[in-house]
Amino acid sequence: MNNNEKPKPASSRWLMKITLTVFFAALTMAGAFIAFPIGPIPLTMQNLFILLSGLVLGPAMGSAAVGIYLLAGILNFPVFALGGGGLARFAGPAGGYFVGYLLAAFTAGLIAGKPKAEASAEPSLTRIIIAEIAGLVVSYVPGLIWYKIRMNINWAKTFQTGFVPFIIGDTLKGIVAVLIAPKLRRIAVDFLYDRK
């Protein structure tokens, strides 16, 4: 931290952390409403905001944002894709992807790191790309495993219907996340630190 930047008071920083966390949870909820039913697993925008939660906020706050989103769904708020909610959605074909969302935010955040006031501590573009790819990959692992079990299909069919239809969309969302994450991280730093 240089002489021009100092932490905000602890109470103010906690308020800003809560605000940012809830904001990304709300973005994820909004992303679920941009959904296209292409099969048992709909194509949505929510994983863009889930990845951004980790890339921008780091592992703890990013995971917390996704946790708030999932808790809202469990409590039957209509925040899941196509407006659904309730614990029963976790037993459906997309149930494993919900677990994957939490892992995605944590993994992306762990690799990118939490936002820091020191500009020199910010991750390189290469590190952000690696964080985004790792987050996306780990989101698919529990998703595909549960999808295969729930649908009672072989692995070829699992990849054909639970992975292939999403490759192009997820690649494009990943590119968007990588491009805007550095700017959003700087905005997050402005929220968390005073600049004199």
| Gap between the Cα atoms of 172 and 93, Å rounded | 24
Q: What is the pLDDT of residue 196?
A: 44
Query: Is the pTM of the predicted complex or chain greater than 0.85?
Result: yes
Reported as a single tens digit per residue, the pLDDT across 33-49 is 888 888 788 889 999 99
Share of the chain above pLDDT 90, in %: 72
Domain ranges of the chain: 5-195
| Gap between the Cα atoms of 103 and 167, Å rounded | 19
What is the CATH class of 5-195? Answer: mainly alpha
Structure tokens at 129: 């790309």
Reported as a single tens digit per residue, the pLDDT across 2-22 is 545 555 566 688 899 999 999
